[in-house]
A and B are shown apart, each in its own frame.
Chain A
Amino acid sequence: MNMLEVRDLCKTYIVNKRQNNVLKNVNFSIAEGEMVAVMGPSGSGKSTLLYTVSGMDTVTSGSVSFCGKSIGKMHEKELADLRLDEMGFIFQQMYMLKNLTVLDNIMLPAVQSKKSTESRKEITERAHTLMRKLGIIETADNDINEVSGGQLQRACICRSMINRPKMIFADEPTGALNRTSSDEVMEELGKLNADGTTMMLVTHDVKVAARCTRVLFIGDGNIKGEYNLGQYGSTSQLRERERALNNWLLEMGW
């Protein structure tokens, strides 16, 4: 079953009275359990694609359906509820509320969710479980500026997972991290995917994309091609996957 179905998606911005067609008739789909990377040169429309298909931004024309529901027809409040309850988000900028601890930042979406019937205690326990899983349990009571960038991004992953989303959207999740932290974060995202969470992520980094099951290459506002990497197994395969992906990207004009 397709988790995300995108048909003839167009997105146009008007900048200084000039029409800028960022996305032009984009078509693709993501099946349940997939981990899809979107790659492409700067300004090709990768982030715009992520925001429009996740309901953060409006579509100019075309259709986007998430779990069979057309998000283009949804009201702003419905979209907000959808993002809160069924989607998770990770950004390059590790935004968190400055006055909350790491734990409270992670718990916040669960407390806000009207769908959730869990008590605060249960939410706290679930947040602890996630933090333990991602190896940041010791930072629970820390302020957000008392932890490292890698720890913060892992906290963002925990936050994106707290409402048990059907799909996670990540925009350059390792963009602000060093290589070690980046590997750690991708390791965790890979595990979540292995557990069944569908993911769509935008990245410039071949090492990151190599851990995905499929890569979409976007250029000039359209999907120019896609490369099926198959399920990522172990670190030993990584080098081979990177090489293959690099070759394909060269063919695509990267």
Chain B
Amino acid sequence: MYLNILKKDLKRKKAMNVILLIFIILATMFVSSSVNNILTISTALEDYFAAAGVPDYLLATTGSAADESVKQAFADVPEITDCKTESIIYMNGEVFFVEDEPIDFGNTAMYTNFSEASLCYFDADNQPITEVKEGTVFVAVKPMKEAGLEVGDVLEIRMEGVSVSLTVAGVCKDAVLGSDLMGNVRLLVNEKDFAQFSGIPDSLFGKLWYVNTTDVAAVTDALADAKGITFNGDRAMIKMAYVLDMVIAGILLVVSICLILIAFVVLRFTITFTLSEDFREIGVMKAIGIRNTAIRSLYLVKYFFTAVIGAAIGFFGSIPFANLLIGSVSDSIVLEHHNIVFINLLCCIFVVLLILFFCYTCTAQVRKLSPLDAIRSGQTGERFSKKGILRLGKTSGRPAFFMALNDILSSPKRYATIILTYTLCTVLVLILCNGANTLRSDKLIHAFGMYKSDLYLSSADMDVLNALSTGGEVLMQEKIDEIEKTLAEEGMPAECTIDMAYRFNYAHGDRTFTSMTLQGVNTTTDYYSYHEGTPPQNPSEAAITPTVSEKLDAGIGDTITFHDGTQEHKLLVTAIYQSMNNLGEGVRLHEDLKQDYSNAIGFFQFQLNFEDHPDEAEIAERAERIAELFDIDMPKTAGEVVEETTGVAGTISAMRTMMLVLSMIIIAMVTLLMERSFIAKERGEIAMLKAMGFRTGTIMSWHSLRFVIIGILSVIIGAAASPALTKLCLDPIFKMLGARFGVPFEIKPLEVFVIYPAVILAVTIISALLTSLYTKTITAAQASGIE
């Protein structure tokens, strides 16, 4: 008997059963792929680090003198269990060419001898690189993309009179230096190609030290006085450098959770809705004496089969869908699903069980239904509150709008499900939009410990590398003077400044910490922003970041000390500022504290502040003239510097686009299926209205307007909540990066309140209108024949 009833049910209620099946397929796909992504992302970095063999401590040195210094420092550290090195050559400036055209990797390249590889490097297919043939090179992912290199291109290196041509064999994923934040350009070459540069100056050679230790602090302390260190950090710091990649992963996590939420909400709604269609049948079955348990089991059997079929189809769809989502996270990390088939299978089983649970709880109403419901289609007549809130006589709108609005107000629970789905989709898109815009915003420049200028000139193009030596301050000042003079002569009077970067080991009490240190040239400390205190007023004062404050347990009013190689300095902390440079570490020295430039590890961009305060268009025009004048790359604006520094705005924009497309698909599907369900349930009313003389257009408007109204409501809620939710979701990430006091988010009103809501609304309206066309198939003559 069950089989016969089921067969009839499938035939008679084809539309509702197909809708239910589609929702089950979608739910299975969303849940399976999302759970897979959550599991993959939560263990991604640890898995990657373990596979690559990332050490406990990493050290980069320059020059052979540094080798001896580090070896000496490590000699008395018994906590070090293992120490390996890789020989590298630092390559800066215009040394790379493809087909005689110079290319820019955007950062110092590390030409690495693969035969000494202490790390496991991976190729594009996430397979370990086992060999680098002579005449070939593997290039890190990010620079490969930025320089527009492709596999098979011939990269020519011309440096210090040596020229080497290498064919690009592929990308290499470098676990220690490959994060967007590290931004180092790793070039893996054969030992013979490495040896071709053996004659270049010693200062260009360096080493990467991979240290495994039982006590990281002991290693840090041992290196306090070591010379020639350009970078040092522990495993935690290397991991933190992937925070921007993890931002993307985190966003995908949020997306995944939202997708699961949408899937469950919609599934529950569909089951309740389709079951309410069956009140009449339930009433009839009760009337002829079938027991409650038998009726419930009948529906359980029906939903079980539908769920199994839907979950099976969803299972096959979930694998490519999961790969599509995870593929958008990062190409710098080896990120692969483990046991995808097994996990997806478990999720499918879970979805089937969940559907049965929903069905079981929904069919609990069977007990309450009486044979009377067979006559009254589930309406018992016992109602204690009014359903409709609006009154036709007291409103002035057209009936279609009145009916649509009244329906929403009469069944708020039903429409709340759809509003929740639409709002979630809107919010997800807008958070990504705000995130991407913030990571391109000049407002963020202060969060990098810098101040906002009109233009930023790449110092690598300005031939000032030799300023990194004793007496270099004279050379640097001359360069600044030259830039100012040239600009003045060209009618663009500007002040030129630069920040010098050092790494000093600071002490406060018994605590020590090595921090990046900045000192402005041609600026004063009040150019920069501080969160607390006052800018350093004399050479014995300094500002520190919260990270340094915590590491040294020092605050405003405390005195910290550092040794610059010749003498010890005592600095009174007068201010706290935030910086996302090197994940929050930073000390800003007073400009008058004399420093030996040989201690500097580098410098930032030359910053130009035009004295005649030109507008944006004029600045853009001047940027072009300056690029020609100094034969350098196009100077950047503050926003462009932020975008380049963070490096993930593009990825987040791509995710936003993907999320927008995904949202559009979800909204279109939900609208189509929900509206189709409503039409199926309201066939009788539609036919009656047509019989009474309501035109098809009016009925289409009635059905579409419901979705338009809730669409408008959803995008208003989504847009209004998005600034607060952006802060809630993204502030913790910026805090991890070092912006402890939060960052000002770039909320572009046109995008957030107009463009994206309009796109989402347009999809809703189009989907609703197209679906409402189905009402054309219902004729007035059906008014007597529909139950």
A residues lining the B interface (CB < 8 Å): 47, 51, 56-57, 76-77, 80-85, 87, 89, 91-93, 95-101, 103-104, 107-109, 111-113, 120-121, 123-124, 143, 145-146, 159, 171-172
Which residues on B sit within 8 Å (CB–CB) of A159? Answer: 692
Of chain B, the residue at the smallest CB distance from A109 is B692
- Contact partner of B696 among A76, A96, A124, CB < 8 A? A76
Query: Contact: A80 with B784, CB < 8 Å?
Result: no
Q: Are A112 and B694 in contact (CB under 8 A)?
A: yes
Q: Would A97 and B685 be within 8 Å (CB), given that A56-B783, A57-B781, A84-B694 are in contact?
A: yes
- Verify B690–A104 contact, CB threshold 8 A: no
| Residue B554, interface by CB 8 Å | no
Which single residue of chain B is at the shortest CB-CB distance from A48?
B781
Residues of A within 8 Å of B779, CB to CB, are 56-57
Instruction: Kindly name the residue among B387, B396, B406, B779 whose own CB sees the greatest number of chain A CB atoms within 10 A.
Output: B387
| Pairs A–B under 8 Å by Cβ, sample size 30 | A47-B784, A51-B780, A56-B690, A56-B691, A56-B781, A80-B696, A84-B694, A91-B688, A92-B784, A93-B684, A95-B685, A95-B687, A97-B689, A98-B387, A99-B387, A99-B403, A99-B406, A101-B388, A104-B391, A107-B393, A108-B692, A109-B693, A111-B392, A112-B698, A120-B394, A120-B395, A123-B393, A124-B393, A145-B379, A159-B692
Note all chain B residues with C-beta closer than 8 A to A85.
693
* Cross-chain contact A120 with B392 (CB below 8 angstroms): yes
Interface centre among B391, B396, B411, B684 (most CB of A within 10 A): B391
Q: Does B376 touch A at the CB level, under 8 Å?
A: yes
Contacts of A104 in B (CB 8 A): 388, 391-393
B residues neighboring A (CB under 8 Å): 376, 379-381, 383, 386-388, 391-396, 399, 402-403, 406-407, 410-411, 684-685, 687-696, 698, 779-781, 783-784, 786-787
Q: Pick from A91, A97, A109, A121 the residue with the most CB of B within 10 Å.
A: A97
The answer to whether B406 touches A87, judged by C-beta atoms less than 8 angstroms apart, is no
Q: Is the CB of B781 within 8 A of A143?
A: no
Question: For A84, what are the chain B residues with a Cβ–Cβ distance below 8 Å?
Answer: 692-694
Are A108 and B392 in contact (CB-based, < 8 A)? yes
B633 to chain A, nearest CB (A): 65
Return chain A residues, CB-CB under 8 Å to B783. 56, 89, 91, 93, 95
User: Judging by beta carbons under 8 Å apart, are A56 and B396 in contact?
Assistant: no
Pick from A77, A87, A96: contact of B695, CB under 8 Å = A77
Pair B410/A101 contact, Cβ less than 8 Å: no
Determine whether the beta carbon of B693 is less than 8 Å from that of A81. Answer: yes
Task: Please indicate the chain B residues that have their CB under 8 angstroms from the CB of A124 in the complex.
Answer: 393
Q: With A80-B693, A93-B786, A99-B411 given, is the CB distance from A146 to B383 under 8 Å?
A: yes
B387 and A143 form a contact (CB under 8 A): yes
Hey, which chain A residues are within 8 Å of B411, CB to CB?
99
B40 smallest CB distance to A (angstroms)? 46
Could you say which residues of chain B place their CB within 8 Å of the CB of A80?
690, 693-696
Q: Which B residue's beta carbon lies closest to that of A106?
A: B392
Which residues on B sit within 8 Å (CB–CB) of A103? Answer: 391-393
Q: How far, in whole Å, are A82 and B783 apart by their CA atoms in the complex?
A: 17
- Per the bound structure, the CA–CA distance linking A111 and B692 in Å amounts to 12
Q: For A77, list chain B residues within 8 Å (CB).
A: 695
Which residues of chain A are near B395, meaning CB under 8 Å? 120
